[in-house]
Amino acid sequence: MTNKHVKQARRLLAILLSASMLAACAGPKTPAPSETSSAQYEQYKSENVSVQNQFDALTQTIFKEELKNSGLDLHYTLADPASRGITEVPDTFGEFSLGNMKKNYGEMQDLKKALGSIDIKKLTKEQKLTYKILSSYLETELSSEGLELYAQPLTSTIGIQAQLPILLAEYTFYSKKDVDHYLALLSTIDTYYGQILEFEKEKSEAGLFMCDTAADHVLQSCEAYLIQPDHSFLAETFNERVDALTDASPEEKAAYKEQNLAVLKEHFIPAYKNLIDGITSLMGTGTNEKGLSEFPQGKQYFEYLVKSNTATSYDSVVKLQKAIEKQLNSDLKALGEIVQTHPELVDALDTYAFQYTKPDEILETLKGQISKDFPALPKCSYKVKYVPKALEGSLSPAFYLVPPLDRYQDNVIYINGGTRFQNEDLFPTLAHEGYPGHLYQNVYFISNNTCDLRKILSFSSYSEGWATYVEYYSYTLDNGLDPNMGQLLAHNAAISLGLYALLDICINYDGWDKGQVKEYLGKFYNIGDSDVADTIYYSLVENPTNYMEYYVGYMEIMEMRNTAEKILKDQFDLKAFHTFLLDIGPAQFSIIQPYFRLWLAEQMDQ
């Protein structure tokens, strides 16, 4: 639910202006040729430090401002806000409105000007990287100005109405004050959803409302939460968290539980009922059954989504599409060669099995085996939990819950034990979520990077691309599989994801309809089931670029690795490559690429 638009404090410009004036006033006079250079050098360094301090102050102010509007964002980011000088904890989810979006653009323009007043040449190496990341981030987000009504807050799987209850269910109670804040926050959910509904009405008036099929899917996701409070998973999980408190008496715990039931009855349930009524009343106003490209500025908005959500190094959708096709064909060719050489593997697809099946056993095995290809982590821990029964139907096979920045050592991985995931391969799944996936990458970056702002700027294609890349890597480990079977499974998984990414562009940018998708799937992938084609089609219509975040990130990493292996040959060190990616951390691939070329040159000189 994090608002992607960086917010700026009103005092930012004043801070920057005064700092710039101070640096100008303290600047050295131009020395005569006969003067010694030591004083000049010392003053120059002093001026650099001043600018560096100015930049640090700017990034820290942005960090605090980003968290000041949403109590949920703040709680998930910091267990102890006071440790970062944040004393006021907001008790709302923030404001979701067209007016607020437009206000954010103005603030971003101001921030862009403020950033431009800083001399990047005087920053440290790490600060220069942050500067470039933030500058590019602002440029991308500002490119969507005027397209605010194309935003899709409500979608069947990744919409606010589907994910917010899950975040509430996993809201950690460190003490009684967290319970008080949670209840105050939950009491505003009907107001927050009312704002979203008003936004959807404005979309409808502009002719940009979702089609009825998509609206039906949203309604179904909403109806799943219309459960009597005392039978709701939000009551179940709340009670478990309250019972675990050490600073509350039995009487206080009982009172909290009663208060929670009242809030669920008076605010949570009405919020979903009103949302259902509102969406139902708008059905029929969304007449576009096709992708974004069919809307007046839909292709322009899709271009923005691609740039924002994939942070790709490719400067156009057309070039990116060709790159996806190239990587997809590469995996198809590799899979074909494996099947041709080992035809017996096709029959074994129904009977293969991983050697390790228990979660803790898998994670410990992964931790041990990856040490040869990945740098060591600082001391940290993890717990494996199972998704509450009530949530099994609405969650993925597994997920990693990102811990607060100030408690990054305490990690939790959730596994969905529902019947629909009984046949999922847990080994690659936990590689994706745990080691060397999300948990590993998150702990590595937070423990090695000192800039708080960088830790909250979201570049999901980097993080999901990394997790997808190492998921496929895990098939090659000593896991009980025939090595050729492992390669076959990895390529097959990559092909499936690549197909979704390619069709995403075909539907939302090239304008394919359901018939064209069905024809393509039948002709090239022997998928003739209309229901399957329809499911794929609408998942991509409703969630543009969602699958691309995973695939494009994986593809960008693979392209860099292939380049490094081709150029360095026997000098290529996989651990050094992984360390480079981990050290640079979440960022746009357009920014990572120049750093990669420098790293490659350094490797060649060794």
Same domain as 265, residue 225: yes
Residues in the chain with pLDDT values less than 50? 1-43
Phi and psi angles of residue 206, each rounded to the nearest 5 degrees, phi first: -90, 0
395 part of a folded domain:
no
As a whole number of angstroms, the distance between CA 557 and CA 9 comes to 36
pLDDT at 234: 93
Cβ-Cβ contacts under 8 Å for 330 (sequence gap 6 or more): none
Residue 411, SS3 per DSSP: strand
pLDDT, tens digit, for every residue of 493-535? 999 999 999 999 999 999 999 999 999 999 989 888 889 999 9
Residue 412, SS3 per DSSP: strand
Same domain as 77, residue 17: yes
How many C-beta neighbours within 10 Å does residue 326 have? 11
How many C-beta neighbours within 10 Å does residue 516 have? 16
Domain boundary among 236, 257, 287: 287
Domain count for the chain, please give it.
Answer: 2
Structural domain of residue 222, as residue ranges?
160-287
Same domain as 194, residue 104: no
211 part of a folded domain:
yes
Same domain as 240, residue 279: yes
Q: Are 126 and 451 in contact (CB under 8 A)?
A: yes
Q: Which residues pair with 384 in a beta bridge?
A: 413
What strands, in cross-sheet order, belong to the sheet with 398-401? 381-386, 410-415, 398-401
56 part of a folded domain:
yes
Whether the full predicted model's pTM is greater than 0.85, yes or no, is: yes
Residue type at position 540:
L
pLDDT at 251: 97
As a whole number of angstroms, the distance between CA 274 and CA 224 comes to 14
Strand-strand pairing, 410-415 and 381-386:
parallel
pLDDT at 421: 76
As a whole number of angstroms, the distance between CA 439 and CA 580 comes to 18
Return the CA Rg of the chain: 26
Q: Which residues pair with 382 in a beta bridge?
A: 411
As a whole number of angstroms, the distance between CA 344 and CA 153 comes to 47
As a whole number of angstroms, the distance between CA 107 and CA 139 comes to 13
Residue corresponding to tokens 């290529």: 572
Which alpha helices (H) appear in 349-422, and where do they start and end?
359-369
Q: Which residues pair with 381 in a beta bridge?
A: 410
Closest CA to 49 of 19, 25, 29: 19
Domain boundary among 267, 287, 307: 287
Same domain as 175, residue 113: no
CA distances from 376 to 78, 441, 545 (A): 25, 11, 33
Same domain as 95, residue 61: yes
DSSP string for residues in 373-397: TSPPPPS-EEEEEEPPGGGTTTS-S
Domain boundary among 287, 309, 332: 287
